[in-house]
Amino acid sequence: MRDDLPDGVERREIDGAERLATRGDPVYGEPTDEGWRAWNPARSKLGAMLALGMDTGLEGGETVLYLGAASGTTVSHVADFAGPTYAVEFAARPARDLLEAADSRPRLFPLLKDARKPETYAHVVESGVDALIQDVATRGQAGVALENARFLADDGRLLLAVKARSEDVTRDPEDVFDDVRAELEDEYEVLESRSLETYHADHLGIVARPL
């Protein structure tokens, strides 16, 4: 298993167990120790990708566009170690919690927008971001990644968590994953894909780069 964690992410003993952790104010009741907050991979697809040793390409300090930020569980950890982090969330209720998470994180920029309509935030998000992180539970997840490819630097990375049941609850998840990978090939080279089943049922983690 790889253990190339980004700068600002460490494996630390918190509450008697070794956990991924970032430095920052707690957001969702996670355990803390001396300024470090545990990153629970069972509540975070990106956390699961890191815990499973996937080569995300994240090094720390990069500019990030995060799609599907919800209430800030994962994107708050990202903003703890990354550079400017644009957090797109469509639903108003979790966006209010996201705003609270951003209060102590000057690099975190919440956007109440629809990830399926990138033209609505293109005037805010800079082009050439280093990482596009996507966790959007909707049909057409590959399409969302393709539409937002415009923001990604030529040497950037797409980190995509695919939820099979959001695509089609009646189909075999492996067939859904195959279709997503095939659709991504219009704009991306898939570098790695791995089941997140250890932490998230019927989910696939994908690392890709623009063609």
* Per-residue model confidence as pLDDT tens digits over 17-54: 999 999 999 999 999 999 999 999 999 999 999 999 99
Question: Residue 62 pLDDT > 70, yes or no?
Answer: yes
Question: Residue 3 pLDDT > 70, yes or no?
Answer: no
* 188-195, strands of its sheet edge to edge: 108-112, 85-89, 64-67, 129-134, 152-163, 203-210, 188-195
Q: What is the pLDDT of residue 54?
A: 97
Question: What kind and span of H or E run contains 91?
Answer: none
Q: Under 8 Å CB-to-CB from 182, ≥6 apart: which residues? A: none
Q: Which CATH class, in words, describes the domain spanning 41-210? A: alpha beta
The annotation status of 90 as a binding-site residue, yes or no, is: yes
Amino acid at 11: R
Q: What is the pLDDT of residue 179?
A: 97
Mean pLDDT of 190-195: 98
Mean pLDDT of 90-109: 96
For residues 183 and 146, the answer to whether their CB atoms sit within 8 Å is: yes
The annotation status of 89 as a binding-site residue, yes or no, is: yes
Domain residue spans of the chain: 41-210
The annotation status of 114 as a binding-site residue, yes or no, is: yes
Mean of all residue pLDDT scores within the chain = 96
Q: What is the pLDDT of residue 126?
A: 87
The annotation status of 115 as a binding-site residue, yes or no, is: yes
Q: What is the pLDDT of residue 4?
A: 82
The annotation status of 197 as a binding-site residue, yes or no, is: no
The annotation status of 73 as a binding-site residue, yes or no, is: yes
Question: Residue 1 pLDDT > 60, yes or no?
Answer: no
pTM: 0.96
Mean pLDDT of 149-164: 98
Query: Sign of the CA dihedral 82, 143, 199, 57?
Result: negative
The annotation status of 138 as a binding-site residue, yes or no, is: yes
